[in-house]
Amino acid sequence: MLPPHARARLRLRAGFPPKSAAPRPPGGSGWRRAWLLLSSLGWAPAALACAPASPPVAATGPGPEPAPPKCEAIDVARGEQAFVRAKPFLEHLKHEEHPKIEVFEQGVRDLEEAARNGHLEGQLRFGSIVFGFAFTDHAPEPADQKDYVRAFTFLRIAALRGHARVLSSFPGLDAKRLADLKLSEPLDTIPRGWLEQAFAKADAWMACAPAAAKTRYQAPPPEPEAPKLVKSDSGWTRAGDAEGPLLRVTERHDGGAAAKPPVTTAWLGALPAVHACYAEWLRRDPQATATLVVSVKLPPGHVDVAGAPDNALMSCSRSAFAAVKLPSDAERTARLEIALYPRALSAQELGDARDGAKVERWEADGSCWMIVSHPCAPNKMCMADTRVRVRCAAPE
């Protein structure tokens, strides 16, 4: 669940005053079933997914012809750009990391912009997060109406466009009439009038954006399988492919309280996934190369990954490193640089250690590092020793 301050700020952004938490209705098992049902969309609890609700009030008779909807311009490119901006925020939620207030607010704004401009995945994600925040916090209340209508508007649009994750969890959300939508307790506690508004808004959006509405859901490609890697004093390559793509750690630093294992050593567990991410990039650009810079300050523990020009590689790599469990019991910093080479033979040749220099071997990585001491004048600020990766000496 999102932290209380984030929930409160979302209410304020939606135009509602802050309030105290309302008690949940009786029947806790039903709410637990809802939690599991929402989780079936593949989201962590912080980003639970969508749900619709119960049948409408019966019509009392024929009414006047509805006025044509007032249409807003759809800018597909703007929607794509907004969703790209929201990806780091989605990674936070995917791994149950609580973002800062400003990160949460900006992430929701970016997702709403993406949704309004026709980004199908953005429509699902925006609706899921807004609905998940409201529904799992307390029973629906009148002050929540705007949140629910906003969420279900885009969840229904995603369903009408064939998004499989919505339809598999909530069959009927793409129904022509709200009366055809069947929901079980506790989702049927959502006022039907709110859903009527959402259905009407969603149908109006579809009528206003016929080109975007025709863009149907396509299942994403499967996640690249993480290969088995082997280490050498030159770097990491795929088992059985010593001349293929190579990952080489070129800098490492662990600061603050000692950890077992050190943070940089724990990060080595992400390299198979990173190698798979890099292989996907190489399929699109066979000569692609970059140096990833991974850093963290604990706590709170947000892992930052930078250094590559390819958005897909960056998103994939962030997921790989964010999945590594890090200690949070003391203040620590860590930094790791990883050079990516398309072929092992294209990697820069490592130098030899200077005669008499102290050399440390990092067993977990299979690498050797020369310790370089820097001259220091009396009573002056001195530079700490640094490590330089070198070729490991052959055993005598």
pLDDT value for 388: 93
Tokens, residue 357: 């220099």
Better pLDDT: 376 or 236: 236
Q: Quick check: is 345 in a domain?
A: yes
Q: How many CB atoms lie within 10 A of CB 129?
A: 28
User: Does 178 share its domain with 326?
Assistant: no
Better pLDDT: 66 or 130: 130
Q: Quick check: is 62 in a domain?
A: no
pLDDT value for 219: 67
User: Does 206 share its domain with 344?
Assistant: no
396 — pLDDT class (breaks 50, 70, 90): low
Better pLDDT: 18 or 386: 386
Query: From the CA atom positions of the chain, what is the Rg in Å?
Result: 26
Q: Quick check: is 184 in a domain?
A: yes
User: Does 206 share its domain with 340?
Assistant: no
Give the residue among 284, 177, 173, 157 at the shortest CA–CA distance from 217.
157
Total domains in the chain come to: 2
Report whether pLDDT(222) > 70: no
Q: For residue 377, with 0-12 CB atoms within 10 Å meaning exposed, 13-18 middle and 19 or more buried, which class applies?
A: exposed
Q: Highest-confidence range of 210-214, 233-237, 382-386, by mean pLDDT?
A: 233-237
Q: Quick check: is 220 in a domain?
A: no
User: Does 206 share its domain with 244?
Assistant: no
- Residue 165: phi and psi, rounded to 5, are -70, -30
Peptide bond into 55 cis (omega under 30): no
Task: Please state, in angstroms and rounded to a whole number, the distance separating the CA atoms of residues 241 and 236.
Answer: 10
User: Does 202 share its domain with 240?
Assistant: no
User: Does 239 share its domain with 384?
Assistant: yes
pLDDT value for 223: 61
| Containing structural domain, residue 90 | 4-57+68-213
329 — pLDDT class (breaks 50, 70, 90): confident
Q: How far are the Cα atoms of 124, 230, 245, 282 from residue 287, in angstroms, in the given order?
A: 35, 22, 10, 7
